[in-house]
Every structure is written in structure tokens, then in C-alpha cells.
Amino acid sequence: MTTITTIAALGLTAAVSVAAVITLMVFLASRELATAGQSRLSWRIARFATVGILPLVIAFATIVAVRIIEVF
């Protein structure tokens, strides 16, 4: 039973990791595209995207650190 739980937890961790990385890429791309515009709406979108980038960068750094530790 614990083996099944461990495998399920690893699968869930991988899925959450992939989702976090994809979300980070989307936020970074949308911020870059929005800052290229000159309208008020594009600046609001850029500001909105900036709010979510820092927590996702921290999550990405944690994911990378855990993967590096797993290798060693």
C-alpha cells in the first residue's frame, strides 16, 4: 500500500512541477508582451503578471534544487 501511495505522490509532484513551470513561462511571456504595448490595459496586464512571477520563481528554484539533490 505504501508503494502505491509513494508512486501516486511522485506523479502528483511531477504534475504540479510541470504546471508551475508552464505557468511561470506564460506569466513571463504575457508580461513581456504587455509591456510592449502603450495602452492602460496592457500596463495593467503587465502589473498583474508581475504579481505572480516571484512566487513561481521561488517554486521553480525549489524544484531545481530538489532535482539536483536527488541526483547527488
- Calpha distance 40→2 (Å, rounded): 53
- Calpha distance 59→53 (Å, rounded): 10
- Calpha distance 72→68 (Å, rounded): 7
Closest CA to 56 of 36, 37, 38, 31: 31
Q: What is the pTM of this model?
A: 0.75
Q: How many percent of the chain have pLDDT more than 70?
A: 86
Taking only the tens place, the pLDDT of each residue in 56-69 is: 999 999 888 988 88
Statement: residue 34 has pLDDT above 80 = yes
Backbone torsions φ then ψ of 38, nearest 5 degrees: -110, 0
Closest CA to 42 of 51, 33, 52, 50: 33
